[in-house]
């Protein structure tokens, strides 16, 4: 990797602007191979030098990879004139870095939502032929039975398509309410709600706890950058070869 200006390296994480990065450098909080560097224009190659901010090694991240624990009542959209969107929950520097959600969660659905500026990865994760599994916890009115499990396994016929075979595991069930784990390989509009609806069951709560190899591990409303091993796992899930990878 070619050497890059220090202020640009710090800004590439999406957590701070270029000017904020420069201020951090000037105040002596950045080191290169253990030596304090106060010149924002100084260049470094993170492949061959250890660049640290406050003692923590900096990774070169020209592409952004984040997860958010989406709360209920928030739209999955880039912007909306009348409602809060998931982009409003991210740090402002990320909002100008072409970071976009990978797919969508309904307004009342909570849980794991991925964001990236890597358009190729985003497309591959959502492509039907890739079949990346998503896992949800669902609460439904009524009692779930073995018959429902079998119907999900076969693929539930809907008005405009037949859903791919899915996995339904009952966590608890009573005549009035059931809790279940659902794993699907698609992500079409209101799909899980429609699948249960086709079986005369109404979803009252839905939460995504996993996307491909990633499991949600942060509180509601909180976001974090993905680790390098998590990014690599996403590439593997998307069946991307080395020439397509940026992480």
Reference 212, options 140, 145, 144, 122; nearest CA is 122
**What is the three-class DSSP state of 19?**
helix
C-alpha 25/C-alpha 22 separation (Å) is 5
Give the angle subtended at the CA of 169 by the CAs of 163 and 174, to the nearest 5°. 110
C-alpha 22/C-alpha 83 separation (Å) is 34
Residues labelled catalytic: 106
* Residue 21 main-chain phi, psi, to 5 deg: -60, -40
Reference 218, options 79, 114, 93; nearest CA is 114
**DSSP for 8-63, written as a single string:** HHHHTTSSS-HHHHHHHHHTT-EEETTEE---TT-EE-TTTS-EEETTEEPPP-SS
Strand pairing class (4-5; 43-44):
antiparallel
- Are 118 and 65 spatial neighbours (Cβ–Cβ below 8 Å)? yes
For residue 139, what are the β-bridge partners? 179, 205
């Amino acid at each position: 990797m070619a050497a890059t200006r220090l202020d640009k390296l710090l800004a590439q994480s999406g957590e701070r602007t270029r000017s904020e990065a420069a201020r951090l450098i000037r105040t002596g909080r950045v080191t290169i191979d253990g030596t304090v560097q106060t010149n924002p224009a100084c260049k470094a190659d993170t492949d061959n030098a250890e660049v640290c901010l406050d003692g923590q090694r900096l990774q070169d991240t020209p592409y952004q990879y984040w997860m958010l624990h989406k709360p209920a009542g928030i739209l999955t959209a880039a912007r909306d004139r009348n409602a809060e969107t998931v982009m409003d929950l991210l740090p402002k520097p990320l909002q100008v870095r072409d970071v976009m959600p990978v797919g969508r969660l309904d307004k009342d659905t909570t849980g794991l939502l991925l964001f990236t500026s890597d358009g190729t990865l985003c497309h591959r994760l959502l492509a039907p032929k890739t079949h990346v599994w998503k896992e949800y916890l669902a609460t439904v009115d009524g009692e779930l039975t073995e018959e429902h499990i079998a119907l999900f396994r076969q693929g539930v016929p809907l008005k405009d398509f037949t859903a791919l075979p899915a996995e339904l595991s009952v966590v608890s069930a009573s005549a009035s309410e059931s809790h279940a784990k659902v794993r699907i390989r698609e992500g079409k509009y209101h799909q899980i709600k429609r699948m249960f609806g086709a079986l005369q069951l109404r979803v009252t709560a839905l939460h995504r706890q996993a996307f491909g190899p990633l499991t949600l591990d942060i509180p509601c409303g909180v976001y974090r950058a993905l680790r390098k091993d998590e990014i690599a796992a996403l590439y593997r899930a998307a069946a991307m070869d080395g020439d397509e990878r940026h992480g």
